[in-house]
Amino acid sequence: MTLDIITPDRKVFSGEATAVTFPGSQGQFQVLNNHAPMVSTLDRGLIVVQSPSGQQTFTVDGGVIEVLQNKVLVLAEAVVA
pLDDT digits (tens, 9 = 90+) for 25-69: 999 999 999 999 999 999 999 999 999 889 999 999 999 999 999
DSSP state for residue 38 in the 8-state scheme: E
Domain boundaries, the chain: 2-80
Which of 36, 63, 60 minimizes the C-alpha distance to 49?
A: 60
CATH 1.10.3720.10 fits 2-80, yes or no: no
- The 10s digit of each residue's pLDDT in 1-33 is 999 999 999 999 999 999 999 999 999 999 999
pTM tops 0.75, yes or no: yes
Cα(55)–Cα(68) distance, integer angstroms = 22
Predicted local distance difference test score (pLDDT) of residue 79: 84
Q: List the alpha helices (DSSP H) in 19-70.
A: none
How far is the C-alpha of 7 from the C-alpha of 25, rounded, in Å? 18
The single-letter DSSP state of residue 10 is -
pLDDT at 81 over 80: no
